[in-house]
Structure 1
Amino acid sequence: MRANFATEQGDAYNASEIDRSVASIALDKQFGSSLLWQTTLVYEDSNNTGEPFQFYLDRYDVSGSGGRLPTPTYDYDNMNVDNAYYKSETLLASTGFEWHLDDQWMLRYQLGFSRKDHSSNKAFADLLNAAGDYSGAIYNFAGRLDTFFTQAMLQATLSALGMKHELVAGLGLQRNKTQYSDFDYRADEFPGNIYEPEPYRVLHTPDFALNAARPEIVQRSAFVSDTVHFSERWQAIAGLRFTDYENKPDYQTRELSPTLALIYKPDLQTSLYASYVEGLEPGSRVADRYANAGEVLDATVSKQTEFGFKRQQDALDYSAAIFRIDRVNETDITRDADLYLTLDGLVQYQGAEMSAAYQFTRNLNMGLGATYLDATIEKTSSDSADLEGNTPGNAPEWQVVGTAQYSIPNIPSLSVHGAVRYFGDTYISDDNLLSVPGRTVVNAGFSYDFDMQGKAWTLVGNINNLFNEEYWASGGYTAGNIGEARNASLTLKVLL
């Protein structure tokens, strides 16, 4: 039997103080030559205090502000409530086995449980204008999410009719149970400005007593796929997944989703492929800030088509692809001055992505990646006809990243790394009235592996936003966040 035990502790970013402790243990035991048993246990305890506001922009004076957000500032003390917090405890336990029945057949089984307990005394704010005024509010809640999951999967490698087949078939079950306290959203409790100190403090005592569990969400699945090797050059993948999704008592939906791919290898280093995938996306529960709070939106089906190639040749790896994704649009609609979250229209994401990495020397590797996205909202109803042809929120046209890693000569266990990331202008919401300007952020760090007292240790250090670029970041639909100021983190990991 072999046991791995890892511990990790990290802390703050921005003005937040994050006390986080993580412990994990992994065990495995080999029974003979054919059966491997594995189990994992992970526990995390986190307490985030002094977190900067997440700003909502539904009430922002777009026209009066000339379509611009306030100049960002990293004086976070002006944008948080000192005694606000978000606490969470997470436990994950899983076990399973891998049984090689013979040279052709293998059975895998996994059984697991996770629990997340969290409580919030968080502060949010509606950003109002380019002068930086906001209206703040405290949001209290507590919750418990229990997830039970199990999956059995049978794999086989067979030959038939002169072709090699890699078969996979399986069954899965997942049950989610949630409990919540009574949600308390204290609207418009305090005014403020992002350039001035925020004196507000929470004086009330939140009630975090959990109510009875809500009805379960149950997802059952069955899947089968076959990777067919017609020859050394041609392969095909055909698969089907059946999903039975039941969100008691709101609705139940069943969907049969195909996966298809064709792969051609002109040589051992190059692959050209075409693929088509459908997937079931569960409906979300509407948040309390909407007039239809608590409603569960219908599950939807997304579709993705992709064409691309990959090549690995000596020191150079590179790939490129074009793609299209169709998804049902989740958007805000105003009816009789009330805001509703609803499904309306179709979002089409069309784009291209490329990546390349080159090993310049034995010690130096550099990479470059880019994604171009042309996203539009189509097929809207009369309720949201004004969104037809718009760009969906949180869909930047360009994202680019350059990376480098350098191993220090004569110290093989020490390496330094860096990344430059560019995010293009991003609309906050589907109405395309307000956007977050593009930004370029540089990160750097190091990694050092060493042995001490017979244990393997890794020390990782990072500096985020090395040049302290001030920026706004999209924080989700109709939301925005002040960016992450220059900060450093140091993590020590050990395997026992």
Structure 2
Amino acid sequence: MLGSASLSGAVPAAAQSAGGGTAAALPEVTVTQRREAIDEAPPAYAGGQVGSGARLGILGNAPVLDTPFSVTSYTAQAIENEQARSVADVIAMDPSVRMASARSNINEDITIRGFAVPSGDFALNGMFGLTPYWRAPLEAVERVEVLKGPSAALFGMAPGGSVGGVVNLVSKRAGAQPLTRFTAGVMSDSVAGGHLDVGRRFGPDGALGARVNLMRRQGDTNIDHQSTRESLASLGLDLRQSALRASLDLLWQEQRIDNVVRQFQLAPGLAAIPRAPDNSIAYPGYGWTDGHDGSALFKAEYDINDTLTAYAGLGQRKLNWGSMAGNPVILNTAGDYSYFGGWQRMGVDSKSAEAGVRASFRTGGMAHNAALAFTRLDQDQTLGFYTGFPGGMSNLYAGGRQPTPSIAGIDNPLRPYQDSKLTSVALADTVTLLEDRLLVTLGLRHQKVQGQSYNYMTGAASGPYYDKSATTPLAGVVFKLRPNWSLYASYVEGLSRGETAPVSAAIANPGEAMPPYRSKQKEIGAKFDHGGFLATVGLFELTRPSAAVSGNVFGVNGEQRNRGLEASVAGEVARGLRLLGGASFMDAELSRSANAALVGKRAIGVPRSQLNLGAEWDAGFAPGLTLTGRMVHTAKTYADAANTLRVAGWTRWDAGARYATRIGGKPVTFRLNVENLLDKNYYGIATAGYLFLGSPRTVSLSASVDL
């Protein structure tokens, strides 16, 4: 049966025999099988930092050792102990993932395996278009699942077309035990706030669950003259019955940052990257961002019989956002930069739907877990952009703060910017044979991509209506040498919307729309579970095409190829000692280009190596005390396609401690975390070539009590 059932009953101490006599007395036996909520995350692995499994799109949840991909699921426990405020804090634990923007920028984007994944491409309970658009908070999240590599066949095409991987956020659900947890915290400089997390189950056998999360924090950050104000409210309802499971998630978020951090652009002809300046200044030192997100998601699944389950989901998200920000451009090695201001406004309305069936059956000696799915995502974006503010000049090492330009009296209306419709149908099957030692997964997804771009200055259509389709395959094999040791191999493809040729008399095919770009990944690896310690090692090759003008024809004539080795570890290596981290080694180059001089050059923003290693030690000399530490290393990379602008590598050290005790009979946990302990100044880099400064030393202190 695909959905888990619940049985509860007792065998009487005495029972009548068939012949009417009394049988021997039997002990009372109670049989109970717990019902799972829809989209409930798999149990945590030993040590509690990662999950024992993760969601694989239409294939549903699967144990880590049974997946032919590299996947890590970070738990609510890891989120709480890290005092994580957004996905950016969690992905700092992953060696294959890096930030692609500053922490207090307008947006928080990341890279996975050397390819950009914007925050707007994160999924919520397996569905795209529903997470907060610029920054994803974590107070309402049970798991942050990171699936590396393109996954169009599993999840469908992401709205932004990212192919490096998928970040899936799993909502919190009420557990079997009542929960009322309050956390109060303060972060340097003086950001203070509180978070209330309440969970209850109601009705017979706790069939109905409710989980409420409320958060508010505000104050001055450790960036000079920067302040933040954040609020969140969420409600997660779930119904667990023998044949029917359903959930409803409501999420509201707002965030305001004054003196917002921005990335650095690089001027043409720049000879070298100047040394990283003071990380506590928001260059050019003015601006704000103010966003409001609201999301709703309803999902249900019904067991038609013991082998067939039907499911459906429907969600919507609305964004209302504005920002006034400066955009610095580094001019020379002395650190001089120019800047110009821009007032942006954006509205996003996303509607996401899914429906399908999952079947579990046998044919001969093979067990099948098959799925047929339909998805639809409609996303409409409006934009207003005003840039008529005077520019200016300054220097990275001179400091200084510029006044924020006023927007009073300026007309900046919202006009259509981009409409897109992503529709797909997918079929997949995982076949298990050889006494459950061999798992073979095959799948196909037919994706239709439609959309219209607009000139946001006039609202008029820009270029022809885009209407293309493509079919992407999936193939994966897992072979278990032993129950705790598996080998895997997979081939997957990803999709991105193709570009449209510029309209110009110099181009032979103006306005021609390229078909969706196909990214391809091949991967082989091994996974080992030592009972309390999980290790994964994998080799992969990921390619993504691109388009440019060659001669006078615009076409798909470029390709970036990332080849790499990844190794990760998680779990308890010795009693009271837990590790989490790993290493990623990558050779990323332009394998094809319209400019022959660029072929073989290293890809922008992709270092050869990234290392993360975090450790937790339960101090035996003080019961309840845990000491933590982490090293994060990123090797040098390049900020331009010609590989003339080198960005220095960096190493960051973090440290912390927590203490669990009881006060007044209530469980209380105190947490202290210090990010960038040595306050190192360093540049991060986006794959588009933008630079940003790493966060300054940040001290976070909190106390949680279960009431």
Q: Structure 2 matches for 1:291-440, cutoff 5 A? A: 299-329=516-546, 344-357=557-570, 359-381=572-594, 384-407=595-618, 415-440=626-651
Cα distance change, pair 395–412 in 1 and its aligned pair in 2 (3 A): same
Asked if the contact 1:395/1:426 (under 8 Å) is kept, the reply is yes
Q: 1:18 aligns with which of 218, 228, 232?
A: 228
Asked if the contact 2:538/2:567 (under 8 Å) is kept, the reply is yes
State the distance in 1 between where 2:642 and 2:665 align: 59
- Residue 688 of structure 2 corresponds to 477
Q: Which amino acid aligns with 2:632?
A: R
State the distance in 2 between where 1:115 and 1:59 align: 38
Cα distance change, pair 448–91 in 1 and its aligned pair in 2 (3 A): farther
- Residue 441 of structure 2 corresponds to 237
Alignment partner of 1:91 is 2:300: no
Q: Which amino acid aligns with 1:391?
A: R
- Residue 165 of structure 1 corresponds to 368
State the distance in 2 between where 1:100 and 1:458 align: 41
- Residue 274 of structure 2 corresponds to 69
State the distance in 1 between where 2:513 and 2:618 align: 51
- Residue 204 of structure 2 corresponds to none
Asked if the contact 2:544/2:561 (under 8 Å) is kept, the reply is yes
State the distance in 1 between where 2:649 and 2:657 align: 27
Asked if the contact 1:9/1:492 (under 8 Å) is kept, the reply is no
Question: 1:473 offset after TM fit, Å?
Answer: 1.3
State the distance in 2 between where 1:7 and 1:448 align: 24
Asked if the contact 2:246/2:300 (under 8 Å) is kept, the reply is yes
Q: Which amino acid aligns with 2:395?
A: N
Question: 1:462 offset after TM fit, Å?
Answer: 2.8
State the distance in 1 between where 2:306 and 2:663 align: 40
Identity %: 23
SS at match of 2:596: helix
Cα distance change, pair 296–489 in 1 and its aligned pair in 2 (3 A): farther
Asked if the contact 1:58/1:478 (under 8 Å) is kept, the reply is no
- Residue 263 of structure 1 corresponds to 478
- Residue 245 of structure 2 corresponds to 36
Q: Which amino acid aligns with 1:190?
A: G
Deviations 1:135-183 (A, max 9, x none): 01111110101100011131111001221001011101000011112x1
State the distance in 2 between where 1:208 and 1:471 align: 39
State the distance in 2 between where 1:119 and 1:486 align: 29
Alignment partner of 1:2 is 2:209: yes
SS at match of 1:484: coil
Cα distance change, pair 174–368 in 1 and its aligned pair in 2 (3 A): closer
SS at match of 2:696: coil
- Residue 213 of structure 1 corresponds to 416
Asked if the contact 1:190/1:200 (under 8 Å) is kept, the reply is no
Q: Structure 2 matches for 1:50-61, cutoff 5 A? A: 50-59=259-268, 61=270
Asked if the contact 1:50/1:81 (under 8 Å) is kept, the reply is yes
- Residue 468 of structure 2 corresponds to 253
Cα distance change, pair 217–483 in 1 and its aligned pair in 2 (3 A): same
Cα distance change, pair 425–363 in 1 and its aligned pair in 2 (3 A): same
Question: 1:352 offset after TM fit, Å?
Answer: 0.7
Q: 2:378 aligns with which of 165, 169, 175?
A: 175
Q: Which moved more, 1:185-194 or 1:418-427?
A: 185-194
- Residue 338 of structure 1 corresponds to none
Asked if the contact 2:534/2:570 (under 8 Å) is kept, the reply is yes
Asked if the contact 2:560/2:603 (under 8 Å) is kept, the reply is yes
State the distance in 2 between where 1:19 and 1:438 align: 33
Alignment partner of 1:276 is 2:491: yes
Asked if the contact 1:10/1:491 (under 8 Å) is kept, the reply is no
SS at match of 1:386: helix
Question: 1:69 offset after TM fit, Å?
Answer: 2.0
Q: Which amino acid aligns with 1:282?
A: R
Q: Which amino acid aligns with 2:263?
A: Q
Q: 1:115 aligns with which of 310, 315, 318?
A: 318
Question: 1:269 offset after TM fit, Å?
Answer: 0.6
Asked if the contact 1:43/1:90 (under 8 Å) is kept, the reply is yes
State the distance in 2 between where 1:430 and 1:467 align: 32
Asked if the contact 2:276/2:693 (under 8 Å) is kept, the reply is no
Asked if the contact 1:10/1:489 (under 8 Å) is kept, the reply is no
- Residue 193 of structure 1 corresponds to 395
Q: Which moved more, 1:117-126 or 1:91-100?
A: 91-100
State the distance in 1 between where 2:386 and 2:659 align: 46
Unmatched 5+ stretches in structure 1: 287-291, 336-340
State the distance in 2 between where 1:89 and 1:108 align: 30
Q: Which amino acid aligns with 2:319?
A: K
Cα distance change, pair 4–367 in 1 and its aligned pair in 2 (3 A): closer
Q: Which amino acid aligns with 1:418?
A: G
- Residue 348 of structure 2 corresponds to 145
Q: Structure 2 matches for 1:433-448, cutoff 5 A? A: 433-446=644-657
Q: Which amino acid aligns with 1:72?
A: P
Q: Which amino acid aligns with 1:158?
A: F
Question: 1:107 offset after TM fit, Å?
Answer: 2.0
Question: 1:409 offset after TM fit, Å?
Answer: 5.6
State the distance in 1 between where 2:624 and 2:514 align: 51
Unmatched 5+ stretches in structure 2: 1-207, 453-463, 502-506
Question: 1:252 offset after TM fit, Å?
Answer: 1.5
Q: Give the alignment's TM-score, normalised by structure 2.
A: 0.62
Asked if the contact 1:5/1:495 (under 8 Å) is kept, the reply is no
Q: Give the alignment's TM-score, normalised by structure 1.
A: 0.86
Cα distance change, pair 433–268 in 1 and its aligned pair in 2 (3 A): same
Asked if the contact 1:119/1:208 (under 8 Å) is kept, the reply is no
| Larger strand proportion of the pair | 1
Asked if the contact 2:543/2:561 (under 8 Å) is kept, the reply is yes
- Residue 289 of structure 1 corresponds to none
SS at match of 1:53: coil
Q: Which moved more, 1:409-418 or 1:193-202?
A: 409-418
Question: What is the root-mean-square deviation in Å for CA atoms of aligned residues?
Answer: 3.3
Deviations 1:436-485 (A, max 9, x none): 10001112345677899999987754321111111111144121112211
